[in-house]
Structure 1
Amino acid sequence: MDNLASLTDLAVESRNIAIERTGGEISGVTLDETEVDHAKITRVEVLNEQAGQQIGKSPGNYVTIESEDFRSGDRQVHEYLSGVVANELNNIMDSSSLGQNNGEETILVIGLGNWNTTPDALGPRVSHHLLVTRHLYDDAPQDSREGMRSVCSLSPGVLGLTGIETAEIIRGVVDRVHPQLIIAIDSLAARESSRLASTIQISDTGIYPGSGLGKQRIGITEEDMGVPVIAMGMPTVINSVNIVNDTINHLANNQNVAGEVQQMIQQNNISEQLIGEILQPFLGDLIVTPKGIDKLIGDISRILAGGINVALHPDIKAEDVSLYLQ
């Protein structure tokens, strides 16, 4: 990515950026869209390395669940959305080697992020609500294990809190616990402001913490960890450059804006790169989060944790998800 306005963790946005840049569809990238109650589901598959280089994402599957109701306070709708998350997570898990263990696998859930910084606290909050069973699983009778899996969870903090790379901590735990799957949850960065707290992404390619903000960290991927990694998250922050760009695009496309304003925007060829160059000395490093982020993180963490609980423990029904949130 050449400028801050292009930085995003969302594959669906990366695909759109590539299409804008090339003027056509990207070979080796497939898109499937589905509408369900309260949500739109978009599945992007990157088929090869060449396509991955075009959109800046690793080959694999990326699912986005978009819903304005993520921002609502309707618990009944949130429980339904937890079921949607569970279905999509199950679909990705089924495509991995997880199903070969007949339910006897151990799954390690990682809550990435800084619990002291609200927009970055999604991962640790999700971990707080999970139904963890590994400490009981080995001692439980065989018949009582049916419908449940061995699940453990960790919130390792961030480099600034521990002085240790997050991936190094996780690798140490993996070497001792020997999970068959890692699920990593993190706060993400978006390019479009409309996606803040309204889009969940699930992928089977792992995650590079902080990559949406241009940070370079050791990856939490199958290559790095030695076991499959599923990444989950929701955009909670956006760069200020993207907000300005969204505003200018809205003005340029708004029929109610005076023609001379639209003409000025078009004649001056106001691009993302130009916006970045102008704002960089003043606002280029400014990261923005939505109003009411405390409540949003609380609600989204329960939705994600509910979906993970339903997906990992088959005996938990989506309609009873709230009973199993810690």
Structure 2
Amino acid sequence: MRQNAGYTDMAVEFYRHKHVRDDGLIRYYEVDVDGKLSKKLGKPCGKYATLETPAVLSGRTEEYGRVSDALGACLKGYLKDCDKILAVGLGNPDLTADALGDRVFKRLTVTRHLNDKKYLCALTPNVLGMTGIESYDIISAVADRIKPDAVLVIDALTAAAPSRIASAFQVTDSGITPGSGVENHRRRLDEKSLGFRVVSVGVPLVVYSSTIAREFCSAAEGGAGDMIVTPKDVDILVEDCAKIISGAINGAFAVGA
């Protein structure tokens, strides 16, 4: 188990990985967290897959399609036999580091109006402070109405290692707790709470300053731990990560577009 598990959403950071593949551009990790490990780590049970790539940080836009294809194949693996997908972009569209879900939402090719048997549809609930309504309540109401096979949630994540910012795309069937990465926990979105299969995909865009201090200065935890750090060019990183994730989702599920 890695240290500082509480300050990361990334499974590869809070528990050792089981499988690794590396094709030179993308390194693929898998982690399984069972009930015993979940209790020990304080992290949700489930399967976690991580695709690490330097493509975004190095500005290799010509490789984005390849990363999208790999991520789309991973999503298909987690959503086998799911023909009706409700994609949900979480986060605050007015806060750049938290706007990934909204940016992906705006790039999705929705098809439910073309084919109600096999489709991709989407929504973005914004945040409680803007709407006065919990994200869970909006998502639950819509899902109960349209009855998708699965809910695919997109959100920005928190990493423990600064090197994983905009470099690691995580897919998990464990669900997601909106705001958990920045200690603003809302009601959890998972199969138990919603009644539908839930898969989430995200990329870390912030890291705690105490994590950076420990990594480079061996500083003690506390004090600066409440400060959250994001790169100065986060606006570009968010847009590029959104291109990759939306490309993956469109390629995998926008049937009939």
> What TM-score do the two structures reach when normalised by structure 2?
0.93
Deviations along 1:152-201, one digit per CA (max 9) or x if unpaired, are 10010011111111111110111111111100000001111111111110
Any idea what SS the aligned residue of 1:176 has? helix
**Alignment partner, residue 259 of structure 1:** none
Q: Name the residue aligned to 2:244.
A: 303
Q: CA deviation at 1:78?
A: 0.5
* Structure-1 residue corresponding to 2:92: 114
Match of 1:78 in 2: 64
Match in the other structure for 2:199: 230
Quote how far apart the aligned CAs of 1:63 are.
0.4
Q: Residue 188 of structure 1 contacts residue 234 of structure 1 at CA under 8 Å; is this kept in 2?
A: yes
- Residue 12 of structure 1: aligned partner: 12
Q: Which runs of 5+ in 1 are unaligned?
A: 17-29, 100-104, 139-144, 250-269, 316-323
Number of residue equivalences = 255
Q: Does residue 196 of the first structure (1) align with residue 165 of the second (2)? A: yes
1:283-311 alpha-carbon deviations (Å, 9 max, x no partner): 33211101211111111101000011111
| Contact 2:178–2:188 under 8 Å retained in 1 | yes
**What is residue 221 of structure 2 aligned with on the other side?**
276
AA aligned opposite 1:189: T
Structure with the larger helix share: 1
Quote the Cα distance in structure 2 between the aligned partners of 1:74 and 1:35.
18
Residue of structure 1 in register with 2:109 after alignment: 131
2:26 is matched with which residue?
39
**C-alpha contact 1:14 1:56 (8 A) present in aligned 2:** no
- Equivalent of 2:174, from 192, 197, 205? 205
8 A contact 1:193–1:246 mirrored in 2: no
2:253 aligned residue: 312
For residue 6 of structure 1, report the CA deviation from its aligned partner: 3.5
Report the more deviating stretch, 72-81 or 176-185. 72-81
Q: Residue type matched to 2:227 in 1? A: L
C-alpha contact 1:184 1:231 (8 A) present in aligned 2: yes
CA contact (8 A) 2:155 2:202 kept: yes
CA contact (8 A) 2:214 2:221 kept: no
Distance 2:13 2:175 in 1: 18
Report the counterpart of residue 291 of structure 1 in structure 2. 232
1:49 to 26, 35, 41: 35
The percent of aligned pairs where both chains have the same amino acid is: 37
Structure ID, larger Rg: 1
Q: Paired residue for 1:174?
A: 143
Deviation at 1:5, TM superposition (A): 7.4
